[in-house]
Chain A
Amino acid sequence: KAGVTQTPRYLIKTRGQQVTLSCSPISGHRSVSWYQQTPGQGLQFLFEYFSETQRNKGNFPGRFSGRQFSNSRSEMNVSTLELGDSALYLCASSSGLAGRETQYFGPGTRLLVL
């Protein structure tokens, strides 16, 4: 089974721009969660999508948004980029049916905002 894939792997943007990151989950998985990893903050939960619906949300401003398509692929968008948005963005997938499930992470997209 192919693992979770994320594109692009690296991205450089400037302040004020917007960015879209993509995540393809493991085949058959319907839940996709997004996390932001920064030094000193660990992984912080952004949101979870299940069957095209946002099921849970972390404490991030509205500039961070996401969506999920019928094939379970997910995108997250960050508008009006700030320097502090520089981070590794990770997505994780699971079947999403039972809760307490193991989440499988992709390699991440490293975003640098200049």
Chain B
Amino acid sequence: DQQVKQNSPSLSVQEGRISILNCDYTNSMFDYFLWYKKYPAEGPTFLISISSIKDKNEDGRFTVFLNKSAKHLSLHIVPSQPGDSAVYFCAAGYVGGYQKVTFGIGTKLQVIP
């Protein structure tokens, strides 16, 4: 039972345009959400997070939106750059879970120059 779902295995975007990566979750206990980026042969690196008490968090070119009623979050990258090409993982955790984080299967983003 996948509690965190990333339904798009891949996404291609032109350089300079917006990239939107989507994620759905089913467990109502999740109260914080994260996005990680992963390059080949490297471990995932933290990108941005959002608490369930917020609906938006911004960090430079990266913005995460959370819609709790729909159990949906999205990551917007504006403008997209070729160096953003990587696999993006959506992840979720909850107080009491300590550091246990549930990951989606990832979306491979390709930014075309």
B41 touches A43 (CB 8 A): no
Q: Count the B residues whose beta carbon is within 8 Å of the partner chain — how many?
A: 28
A107 touches B42 (CB 8 A): yes
Where chain A touches its partner, the secondary structure class is strand
Those of B25-53 within 8 Å (CB) of chain A: 32, 34, 36, 41-46, 49, 51
Taken together as a complex, chains A and B put the C-alpha atoms of A40 and B32 apart, in Å, by 24
Q: Count the A residues whose beta carbon is within 8 Å of the partner chain — how many?
A: 29
B43 touches A56 (CB 8 A): no
B89 touches A56 (CB 8 A): no
B43 touches A90 (CB 8 A): yes
Residue of A nearest to B31 (CB): A100
A106 touches B43 (CB 8 A): yes
| B46 neighbours in A (Cβ, 8 Å) | 102-104
| A70 neighbours in B (Cβ, 8 Å) | none
Cβ-based interface call for B101 (8 A): yes
B103 touches A43 (CB 8 A): yes
Task: Report B's interface with A, CB cutoff 8 A.
Answer: 4, 6, 32, 34, 36, 41-46, 49, 51, 89, 91, 93, 95-106
A-B contact pairs, 9 of them (CB 8 A): A31-B99, A33-B101, A42-B104, A43-B89, A44-B103, A45-B103, A50-B99, A99-B95, A102-B46
